[in-house]
Each structure stands twice: as structure tokens, then as C-alpha cells.
Structure 1
Amino acid sequence: MNLKLLLFILLNSCFLLSSTTFANDYVGSEKCFDCHSEQYNKWQASGHPWKLRKVEKARYAKLPLPPGYSWDDISYVIGGANKKARFIDKDGFIITAAKDGSEAKTQYNIEDGSWSFYHKGEKKPYACGPCHMTAYSPEGHQDNLEGMVGTWAEDGITCEECHGPGMEHLRNPVKTTIKKITEVDLCGKCHQRGGTGPEPPASKGFIRHHEQINELKAGAHGDLSCVECHNPHERAILVKKNLCADCHGDIAASYAATLHGKQGTECIECHMPKASKSAISVASYTGDVRTHIVKINTAADANMFKEVEKDGKKTTYAKGFVTVEYTCLSCHGSRDKAWASKYATHFHGNK
């Protein structure tokens, strides 16, 4: 072969390899640590990096495994931080049965240590993009595993999923070379179901999980941005304090003089009850995720849910308010809605 032609082929091969490897300019979250260690460490303690983890990392979380499985049978773990964990086998399929193929509960619920069925016995591909990983593409199979639908740059929701590719910022670390997005639609890529409209889908008496944007738009605070309450680098429960009083000062002052105010019951206990369910319900009107609807309808006959029929299929949605069985009876379980309605009417005191 002509030497010049050989050199041309080799140079072009190197160029194509380099272009393929670095075309998306994602550098990985560990690069961010070098300059942003405080934000990185807070983010590591949040749920976002736990959305998907390779077995090499996940096995140290000391999670129990589905019947018959060992860590040598697992390729990835979905979740495992706060609510639940699901497991992916060596072929990239979500485990839905015992290793011997018999019926088994394969979703581990962290809060109470119970197990639940998940698509019992189905051959379930892992098709959770783009909400469990960074820089998702629907093309191909991650790690060449048949059950993995799509490929991505990094497991979990990492820095570059929200801030964009970091290569330019790494080369020139100034504010103008990285994205800082505060719009609700960024969070709405994942924290919604069926789009970002104001109708949160519900099932079996609870709002379904990861629908915070649907809830927010359905309720009384649809114009708020998520970052007005949350620091996206921290755990969701570490919300900024005393935010309600910033806008509702008179009501907050009046409420502080009531029995509940004096005993330290916070606004979110009633206005953001656990009316949503991710893994388990701990009582008849208590799920495991706080709703973002906020508005309360205190009428005793109010129904929080509605059923809509479309194309012959019925779907349940939450309305733009929560009702007293979720706000009051989750604590006062021996009472009824009529009692709750009576006492909730002037709950904030004179305001």
C-alpha cells in the first residue's frame, strides 16, 4: 500500500476516534469536584447520583437482593438512596422474578424494609432514559447489554445533565462557559408524568410519583420556580426555611399563636402532605412523597381526584387541591372528614 495513503488512513482513523469520543464534550462529574467541591459533596448526598449506579458502586450500599441473586448476577442498581431499589441483571434487563424464574417480589422498599412486585415475571428492558442518566441517547445499548435501551455519558443525574457539557468550561472556567438554568422546565424533564401540564396522574388513592411539576402547576403556586425553595445540589428535603412567611406574613403571624403553631407544626405538614406514593403507603391517607399542590379544599364532601375517559380508557388525575383526609386525618386518624372540615375552616387563626 502507498505510504502516503496509509498515513492518510491512520490520521483519519485517529481523528474519527477522537471526534466520536469527545464529540459531546462531556467530561464527567469528577472533573467538577476540583473547583466545586462543596457543591459536589452536597450533590453526592442527594438522590440524583443514585438514580442509576453500576454494581461496583452500588454493592457498598448494603442493599438486600431479590431471591437467589448475588452481587455477581447484578450489573446495575436503579435507585437505592431513599425510597426504593430495583436491580438489573447481567443482560441489562430489570429483575422481575427470583433467579430460578419463580414468582418473587423484586423491588426493595427502603423506608420499611418491605418488598413489592415490579412487572411480575415480565422480561423488562431498562428503558428509563433520559431521567436516570446524563446525556442520554435512545440509540444503541449501554455496555452492549441487550436489555439496556440507549446509551449515555454518565450514570445517574450528574452535573452536566443540568449544566450541559463541561469541556468548554474546563478549558476556560468562567461563568459564561457553563449553563445555569433556573427555569422549571429543566426539572420538568423528569419530575413529571405525561408532560408538564396541570393534571397529575393518580392511582389507588395517591398521586403517582415524580409528578412535582404537574402538581406545582395544578396548585396555587404554578408560577414558582423549583429553585425558589430547593437548592438543586442538595437533598430535596433540605428546603430553604421560613419561605411561606416571606409571602404570607400576616397568616404566618396569626398561625403562630394557634395550638399547632405553638407546638411547631410547619406549614408543609398540612399544605404539602404525603399524598403521593413512590414505593409504599404508610397509612390510608399517607404515602411517602410530599405533594406540591399546596392548596387545601376544606369542604367535607370535596374529592381530590377525578376520572377522565379518553379513547375508551379511564385515567385518574388529582385536582388542583388536597383534601382534609390527607391534610388532617393522616395525623388525626380516629376522626372523620366532617370533624376535619369543621376545624380546618379557621385553622390559621383570625386570618
Structure 2
Amino acid sequence: MESRTKRTLIAIGASIALLAGGAVFAAPPFEGAEYCAECHPGQYNDWKVSGHPYKLRNGDVAQFAPLPLPEGYTWDDISYVIGGYKWKSRYMDRDGFIITSVRTPDGEVPGHNQYNMMTGRWVDYHAGEEKPYDCGRCHTTGYSPEGHQDGLPGIIGTWEFGGIQCEECHGPGDEMSVDTSAAACGRCHSRGEFDTIPAKGGFIRHHEQYNEMLASPHSWANCVTCHDPHKKAEFSIERTCEDCHDDIAAAYAPTRMAGVGVDCIDCHMPYASKSAEALGPNTGDVRTHLFRIETDPAYRMFTEDGAFVNLDPSGQGAVTIDFACMGCHRNVDRDTLAREAENFHDKPLRVIRAVAR
């Protein structure tokens, strides 16, 4: 703590001197997450086991994860690993390019360069292409689009630290800004224009939670309304559905579906998004944040070309029967499921409200 105090006093003294001399105040330098941990050990410990630190790791560190390597490569060939926490891992060679081929006894073969962690499968990612790494804006802390990290020609831009550390959201050093808006998270948890929701292969594409929130009934909320952003997603819930929708939750509690463990998010936040690969019919690997369910069996979630989620004239999207119901009820036809889903909460709500009177 003494070293931190000294640094703070030095920074304050320097600021006073600069202001007295009419100089422009410079932003403090980046210090690293361990610096923040001196005063915020709880948040640091939560963050350390979340996904944010692991968006990008030096190969010398990532090799202890452990992670498998593309065929024919050793850790001496790897400069950085992208991901490798929950969904997938990709690898960068010693020139900073993303590895897109494997080395076999018969020579280089395109593909089998992305490892999907939930299924243990190697799949193709830009197979055989020369693929520079240009994702530093959302994978690193203190990113600048100028230059090449470590002098590696395949890397576009430079950064202070790999992964998303405290200072990426709170500012460098003792600056400590606190922006709790959804837009702050949306700088990375978005894709394309905010008034669209890009899709591909029958699923919403990954890191689009902000786009989805804006097209949902919860567009008024901030991410931190429900989540503690320092924690791993499944342990980060600060406010549950029941906290706001208490009457619906009370009416749902005695139903058969509740009795077998079906929760609000199973239907209203199904796995309609995909980061690595689909885990089954109508089952991706990331939960959607659209929330509203459209029960019309003729309604289609995606545009005709499959490139976007369909939005109504007010800009709202919806989860369809395919994902809300058919992820579990795979042998039941859409029309039957639609009839069951329509006004699903209304009858038990009428009963509980009548009793309350």
C-alpha cells in the first residue's frame, strides 16, 4: 500500500505543478489490475475468474491453461491466444497472424484451426487465409489502432495489457471513472449498427447483447441493473426476473413447468445466439437478451436472407417458438406449441389476482 500512496502523492504533486505552470494535464499511466487490487481485492478476485481477463493472452501464459494446440504446432510457435476461457480458442503465430492452417506430415492443410471448448472439436476459421489480428479494441486494455504490438506485422494496433482489465472500463491509474450505462458495455457487446441485430446460420451472432437490449422491452435498463460486471456471467446476477415481475413469478410457481425446473430465462432468454457452434437443434451457446416471445407460428425470427433478426416498426425484436419452445419440445409441431404458448401467463395470473382481491 505504501508504494501506491507514494505514486498517488507524486501524481498529485505533478498535477499541481503542471496546472500552476499552465500546462495541459496529462492522463495518468496505465498501472494494471494488480494496482487496483490493493484497494479493491473483492472486485479483483471476482474479475480474475471471469472471462474478461482471458480475451487475449500471451502464449507463454496461456500454455498453462491448459489448451490444445493446432496440429503440428508447439507453444514456441504461438505469440498470443485469443479466448480459450469458455467457448473457443484461436491462435496467433510468431508474426502475429491468426493461424488458419495446420501442419501435417503431408504439408499445410487449411482449417481445423479453431478449438471449440464445449464440444472438444476443431473447426475451420478463415481456413487458409492470411488473417491479421484486428480485434484488439475489444480484447485488450488501453488499445490504440496505431502500430503493431511487439513489432509483429500481423497485429493491427497496440495495447497496454492483453484481456479486459479494470482500466479498460474505469480509465487508467487513479482516474477511476464509473460509467454504469448500457452504452459503456455496448462499446464491445455490440456488432454493426445499433438498430440492427446481425445473424448468421440461423442464430444471432455473438457479442450483440447491447443491440438486443435496445430491441427488447428492457431497453430502459442498464446491464448493471441485473449484472455485477466484475463477476463471471452466471454468478453475476444482482436482480432476478422475479424481483421485478413478482406477480408473474408467483403465478408461475405452482405450474408443472416450474415444478420440473423450467426457469424464466429458459424460455425468455434461450440459447438463440452462437459464439462457437450450435449445441443442438434450435440451441446455440449464448443466451439471447431479446426477452419477448412471439407466439405466432408463422412469424420468422430472421430476415429472408438470414442476415438479421426481424424487427417490428418500433424496432423491437422477439424470440420465436423455434427457440423459446422447440429447444426442449423437439417432437411437437409449431402450431401446437404456439397454442400452448399464447397468453401463457394470463390464466394463472387471473387466478392469483382474483385470490388477492
Q: What is the TM-score with the length of structure 2 in the denominator?
A: 0.85
| Paired residues for 1:239-254 under 5 Å | 239-240=236-237, 243-254=240-251
Which residue of structure 2 aligns with residue 293 of structure 1?
A: 290
Which residue of structure 2 aligns with residue 284 of structure 1?
A: 281
Structure 2: gaps (5+ residues): 1-25, 312-316, 350-357
The answer to whether structure 1 residue 194 and structure 2 residue 186 are counterparts is no
236-245 or 315-324, which deviates more: 236-245
Which residue of structure 1 aligns with residue 321 of structure 2?
A: 324
Give the letter aligned to residue 163 of structure 2.
Answer: G
Provide the aligned C-alpha RMSD in A.
Answer: 1.6
Counterpart among 199, 221, 224 of residue 221 in structure 2: 224
Alpha-carbon distance in 1 for matches of 2:114, 2:344: 40
Structure 1: gaps (5+ residues): 1-21, 170-176, 309-313
What SS class does the counterpart of residue 101 from structure 2 fall into?
A: coil
Alpha-carbon distance in 2 for matches of 1:261, 1:333: 19
Which residue of structure 1 aligns with residue 211 of structure 2?
A: 214
Alpha-carbon distance in 2 for matches of 1:282, 1:245: 28
Counterpart among 71, 86, 89 of residue 85 in structure 1: 89
Alpha-carbon distance in 2 for matches of 1:336, 1:57: 50
What is the Cα deviation at residue 87 of structure 1? 0.3
What SS class does the counterpart of residue 102 from structure 2 fall into?
A: coil
Alpha-carbon distance in 2 for matches of 1:80, 1:216: 26
What is the Cα deviation at residue 23 of structure 1? 6.4
Counterpart among 117, 125, 130 of residue 118 in structure 1: 125
The alignment covers a number of residue pairs equal to: 315
Which residue of structure 1 aligns with residue 16 of structure 2?
A: none
Identity in percent: 50
Alpha-carbon distance in 1 for matches of 2:190, 2:239: 26
What SS class does the counterpart of residue 91 from structure 1 fall into?
A: coil
Residues 102-149 of structure 1: per-residue CA shift (max 9 Å, x gap): 223100000010111000100100100200001110100000011010
What SS class does the counterpart of residue 131 from structure 1 fall into?
A: helix
Q: What is the TM-score with the length of structure 1 in the denominator?
A: 0.86
Which residue of structure 2 aligns with residue 5 of structure 1?
A: none
What is the Cα deviation at residue 318 of structure 1? 4.3
What is the Cα deviation at residue 307 of structure 1? 4.2
CA contact (8 A) 2:111 2:125 kept: no
Alpha-carbon distance in 2 for matches of 1:248, 1:129: 39
Which residue of structure 2 aligns with residue 13 of structure 1?
A: none
Counterpart among 18, 35, 39 of residue 35 in structure 1: 39
What SS class does the counterpart of residue 57 from structure 2 fall into?
A: strand
| Paired residues for 1:49-128 under 5 Å | 49-99=53-103, 100-128=107-135
What SS class does the counterpart of residue 350 from structure 1 fall into?
A: helix
Which residue of structure 1 aligns with residue 10 of structure 2?
A: none
What is the Cα deviation at residue 342 of structure 1? 1.3
Alpha-carbon distance in 2 for matches of 1:338, 1:239: 37
CA contact (8 A) 2:27 2:172 kept: no
Give the letter aligned to residue 191 of structure 1.
Answer: H
The answer to whether structure 1 residue 256 and structure 2 residue 257 are counterparts is no
What is the Cα deviation at residue 198 of structure 1? 3.3
Give the letter aligned to residue 331 of structure 1.
Answer: C
Counterpart among 330, 335, 338 of residue 338 in structure 1: 335
What SS class does the counterpart of residue 81 from structure 2 fall into?
A: strand
The answer to whether structure 1 residue 163 and structure 2 residue 166 are counterparts is no
What SS class does the counterpart of residue 237 from structure 1 fall into?
A: helix
What SS class does the counterpart of residue 334 from structure 1 fall into?
A: coil
The answer to whether structure 1 residue 235 and structure 2 residue 232 are counterparts is yes
CA contact (8 A) 2:57 2:80 kept: yes
Alpha-carbon distance in 1 for matches of 2:296, 2:232: 34
What is the Cα deviation at residue 36 of structure 1? 1.4
